[in-house]
Amino acid sequence: MHRTLPLLILPFVAACAQAVDSNPAPVEPAATVLGAAETCIPVVQIRTSRVRSDRVIDFEMTGSKVYRNTLPADCPGLGFEKSFSYATSLTQLCSTDIIHVLQHTGGSVHEAAGCGLGQFVPVSYVR
- The CA distance from 123 to 127, in Å, is 12
Reduced 3-state DSSP string for 8-72: CHHHHHHHHCCCCCCCCCCCCCCEEECCCCECEEEHHHEEEEEECCCCEEEEEEHHHCEEEEECC
The predicted-structure confidence for 74-89, as pLDDT tens digits, reads as follows 999 999 999 999 998 8
pTM: 0.78
- The CA distance from 106 to 104, in Å, is 7
Q: Is the pLDDT of residue 17 over 70?
A: no
pLDDT at residue 7 in the model: 39
Per domain, the residue ranges of the chain are: 30-125
CB-neighbour burial class of residue 71 (10 A; exposed 0-12, middle 13-18, buried 19+):
buried
Mean pLDDT on 104-124: 93
The better pLDDT of the pair 10, 69 is held by 69
pLDDT at residue 5 in the model: 36
Q: Is the pLDDT of residue 12 over 90?
A: no
Of the given ranges (25-39, 43-57, 86-100), which has the lowest mean pLDDT?
25-39
As a dihedral over the C-alpha atoms of residue 32, residue 51, residue 84, residue 115, rounded to 10 degrees, the angle is -60
pLDDT at residue 88 in the model: 87
